[in-house]
Chain A
Amino acid sequence: MAKARTFQDLILTLQNYWAAQGCLILQPYDNEMGAGTFHPATTLRALGPRPWKAAYVQPSRRPKDGRYGENPNRLQHYYQYQVILKPAPENVLDLYLGSIREIGLDPNLHDIRFVEDDWESPTLGAWGLGWEVWCDGMESTQVTYFQQVGGIDCDPVAAEITYGLERLAMYVQGVEFVYDLAFNDQFRYGEVFHQSEQEFSAYNFELADTEILFQHFKDAEKQCQQLIGGNRKFALPAYDQCIKASHAFNLLDARGVISVTERAAYIGRVRALAKACCEAWLETPMGAYKPRFA
């Protein structure tokens, strides 16, 4: 049980571990998104009857969480490690605990607990039951049994495991300031991302052109609807547009130009897109309930 000494060791350890469990090791999705769940490998693949097993790192953008590089652990861009297993194996939690051991957290020396935390994403019309996993009082991971995505019942149920990589690494390395993390033996996390946090915080809160963003939102919404409005459903490109709309909304929200009442309406619009994409996905070959070619 070699401790994952650096940030990239942690990622490599998880990659190897989940590869050994038979997961596809996918790469981050090339769209800005708030969480690994938005990756089509989770959102869309969680639906429909086909078995699916995948793991990947996903950069997660939360414009509002920007702190100009000054907060010890809040970032507007951070990494999630996402595992999606469909159908949920009976030993999901044991598999998870195996990964924790692999990282170097020995459950016989630490206090690992599963504390109720049900997950819900209003923008994706998705929810599930599960826990946040505590390690010595620190929330290290979220484990969820998906019940619905896009308002559609998940059948079979998929299990999702989401690690907050920076937080986990800080715990393993005993570091209190995220920028002090050893990324590898040579570079600290701050050398890679500090300037980016500063610049993007300014962009998120001050510089992003709201007129352009409003237009982006409208364009993405329109394009999404077009792609699934016809006889042939183009679920994947349509879903890309849904993700873009969601990120435009997050930026507008950070810019403070969306009032409390409008907020719910925007979330509703993104949810409508997500639902439509999910429904369309089920009519495509890979999402269909009755596979056309296996």
Chain B
Amino acid sequence: MPDLLLELYSEEIPARMQAGAAKDLERLTVGALSDRGLLFEGIKAFAGPRRLTLAIAGLPAKQKDVREELKGPKVDAPAAAIDGFLKKTGLTKDQLKVEKTPKGDVYIGVIERNGRETAAVLAEILPEVMGKLPWPKSMRWKPGVAVRWVRPLHSIVATFDGEVVPFSFAGVSSGRHTLGHRFLSSGKIEVRRFEDYEAALKKAHVILDADERKAIIFEGVKQAAFVHGLEMIPDEGLLNEVAGLAEYPTVLIGAIEDQFMDVPAEILQTSMRTHQKYFSLRDPRTGKMANRFAVVSNMVAEDGGKQIVAGNERVLRARLSDAKFFWDEDRKRTLDSRVEDLKGIVFHAKLGTQYERVERIAALAGEIAEKIGADVHKAKRAARLAKADLTSGVVGEVPDLQGVMGRYYALHDKEDAEVADAVRDHYKPMGPGDAVPINKVSIAVALADKLDALTGFFAAGERPTGSGDPFALRRAALGVIRIILENDVRCSLRTIVRDLDRSWEESDRGAMGTHGGEDVLVFLTDRLKVALKEKGVRYDLIDGVLSSGAEDDLVRLVARVRALQEFLKTDDGTNLLAAYKRANNIVRQEEKKDNKLYQGQGPKSIFLVEPAERALYDELQSFQRAALQKIKDERFEDVMSDMAHLRPLLDSFFSEIRVNVDDPEKREARIRLLGLIPWMLSPVADFSQVEG
């Protein structure tokens, strides 16, 4: 079966847009083909700096023929109805057939559509797909052409079964010619099919597949580093980016001058990565950053890359001179002396300066430190210094290095090592992939930093919305949750948040007036649910446990939910839940029937006469007493096995006792007994929230 090859060749496409464009091209084409009944065997899309390519294998040469019979109005129907049918089918009256039915004669319209040649359909589909491709940013470039593309489009290759599919887009007509590498190839390349195409491009110094380019870069850096006895510092994000900046990636190694090797590795690495897109290398024995870098060029130069390396080294030298200048200047002042300068930096119009923020964080970090057994003095000291590096030259130039630089300056000032670490680590975790701080002083400052931001922004009415979270409060909330859970930090979040909220209310920051506290807790538990869901913890169980009482100790909360989830996986668990639901249904039905409330009322025990109902009643009561205590003692497994013991009692209640008996008092007692179950189980969870 024939294949389609489509190549859209343009000026340089931004690296960050390439992968998405390939996906969109594939998705839109697949959609357009299937809308027209065209199936295929395989499809692959490619993207690179200068071209988007789509290869589809095994398309039919033609669409299938279609024959459709449509039932119309009766022969004696009003003329308007018959006209309507003719209009709908596009047929004339003498083309209609008449069919006898039990209800009389009716018109039948037979529509036959011959399948069109696939090539003709493609000529229609492809420009349409191109017009719909959603570039994040696109432009006009040709006079009189309103069509937009990411950058000027130069040529289109479109062949089906080796023949050109003729169409035009943005004033460019499709054909069978493309071009190779901007500098390493010259002249047009004629292509018919994907196989020749890919091979011809390779000869013309273009590696079509981004994954292949990545592999070449990865291996290239590894090999080149190895020659120098070094290894690459892996950097997936950079790898993806540079693979989008070269059609023919070639790895070269350059040297960093010794004078810069005293500058902290993070500064070197950030300068090289963000501005120059260089890979950093390290010594595998010491793990220390090496005085070499790897640059991925798009060129196989006639001199083996000598000038390219020399040029890159020169550019890097200028950049690092700047960085080194700031690094040297910054250390002429102590970090402590910079704290005063924070008075001049506004954190947020309603929340005051960074100085005020630091004061709040220090106070809170002290309190948290006390609760979790960290050194209170160190926590306060670290909090005071935490933001001081914002006034330094290096952070001014490279904001990403906040915290990291603070630690270096703190160490330079001979601050305590734990304090210095906390200055760096209080921003952690920076994202879902980042580690949380584990040192207690750092934990105290990190929690204080995030909780201050959360309660502050909530109080100021700056809450995240569905579309925007400009102050990264979701990240802060997730950070709080992860720090607590991963370090087993035991604390009542409600107390902390309420205290903070109160101090916001009492502060002279005025104009706030909104209560954020309870909303912050809800926000935190919502983030918790999302976070736990990713780890396979059931949403409904978290809700169930949460609404059973104000559990605000996240560590306990998670332990309880996990115990419950395990229990519900057992036979006893599922049966107990079924029995619970059954009891609930009965109670609700009878309440409706009698228009009376039975739930949670408790039975008059003298009317419980049968052994099965007495036993259930007694057992439920002792279960609840024991459960309260055991949950306090955090013996969650025990509570679960107690719950398992309830199951046979419930089973025998349902098999032996009839609820709807004539004796109204016995009946009511039985309903009330069932209505008591949710209350008795409530120390564990609100089971009405549990699905199943």
Task: List residues of A whose CB falls within 8 A of some B CB.
Answer: 72-73, 87-88, 90, 93, 107-116, 118, 128-129, 131, 135-138, 145, 147, 155-157, 171, 174, 176, 260
Contact of A110 with B308 at beta-carbon distance under 8 Å, contacts A137-B276, A176-B317 already known: yes
Chain B nearest CB, measured from A162 CB (Å): 17
Q: Report whether over half of chain B's contact residues are helix, strand or loop; otherwise say mixed.
A: loop
**Contact yes or no, B317 A93, CB < 8 A:** no
Chain A nearest CB, measured from B83 CB (Å): 48
Which residues on A sit within 8 Å (CB–CB) of B141? 88, 145, 157
Count of A-B contacts with CB under 8 A?
103
A-B contact sample (11 more), CB < 8 A, given A129-B137, A171-B314: A72-B318, A107-B183, A109-B303, A110-B307, A111-B297, A111-B312, A114-B49, A115-B15, A136-B311, A156-B143, A156-B144
B439 within 8 A of A: no
Interface membership of chain B positions 345-386, coded 1 if the CB is closer than 8 angstroms to chain A and 0 otherwise: 010000000000000000000000000000000000000000
A-B contact pairs, 15 of them (CB 8 A): A108-B183, A108-B299, A109-B303, A111-B311, A116-B12, A116-B14, A129-B138, A129-B139, A136-B308, A137-B315, A145-B139, A147-B140, A156-B143, A176-B318, A260-B346
- Per the bound structure, the CA–CA distance linking A109 and B309 in Å amounts to 10
B289 within 8 A of A: no
Which residues on B sit within 8 Å (CB–CB) of A114? 11-12, 49
Contact of A136 with B152 at beta-carbon distance under 8 Å, contacts A111-B299, A116-B14, A156-B143 already known: no
- Per the bound structure, the CA–CA distance linking A261 and B14 in Å amounts to 33
Interface range on chain B (Cβ under 8 Å from partner) = 35 or more
| Nearest-neighbor residue (CB-CB) of A153 within chain B | B140
B154 within 8 A of A: yes
| Nearest-neighbor residue (CB-CB) of B312 within chain A | A137
- Per the bound structure, the CA–CA distance linking A136 and B309 in Å amounts to 7
- Per the bound structure, the CA–CA distance linking A72 and B314 in Å amounts to 13
- Per the bound structure, the CA–CA distance linking A113 and B142 in Å amounts to 23
B246 within 8 A of A: yes
**Contact yes or no, B295 A137, CB < 8 A:** yes
B245 within 8 A of A: yes
B316 within 8 A of A: yes
Chain A nearest CB, measured from B157 CB (Å): 18
Contact of A115 with B245 at beta-carbon distance under 8 Å, contacts A72-B321, A129-B139 already known: yes
Interface residues of B in 295-325 (CB under 8 A from A): 295, 297-299, 301-303, 307-308, 310-312, 314-318, 321
**Contact yes or no, A110 B301, CB < 8 A:** yes
Task: List residues of B whose CB falls within 8 A of some A CB.
Answer: 11-12, 14-16, 49, 137-144, 150-152, 154, 182-183, 245-246, 276-278, 295, 297-299, 301-303, 307-308, 310-312, 314-318, 321, 346
In the complex, which of the residues B137, B152, B307 contacts A90, with contact meaning CB atoms closer than 8 Å? B152
Which residues on B sit within 8 Å (CB–CB) of A136? 297, 307-308, 310-312, 314-315
Which residues on A sit within 8 Å (CB–CB) of B310? 136
- Per the bound structure, the CA–CA distance linking A176 and B278 in Å amounts to 21
Which residues on A sit within 8 Å (CB–CB) of B154? 90
**Contact yes or no, A137 B318, CB < 8 A:** no
Chain A nearest CB, measured from B72 CB (Å): 52
- Per the bound structure, the CA–CA distance linking A155 and B139 in Å amounts to 12
**Contact yes or no, B308 A111, CB < 8 A:** yes
In the complex, which of the residues B277, B302, B314 contacts A109, with contact meaning CB atoms closer than 8 Å? B302
Contact of A73 with B301 at beta-carbon distance under 8 Å, contacts A155-B143, A157-B141 already known: no
Which residues on A sit within 8 Å (CB–CB) of B299? 107-108, 110-112
- Per the bound structure, the CA–CA distance linking A137 and B275 in Å amounts to 9
**Contact yes or no, A138 B143, CB < 8 A:** no
**Contact yes or no, B308 A87, CB < 8 A:** no
**Contact yes or no, A111 B301, CB < 8 A:** yes
**Contact yes or no, B301 A138, CB < 8 A:** no
Chain B nearest CB, measured from A179 CB (Å): 14
- Per the bound structure, the CA–CA distance linking A97 and B105 in Å amounts to 78
| Nearest-neighbor residue (CB-CB) of B306 within chain A | A109
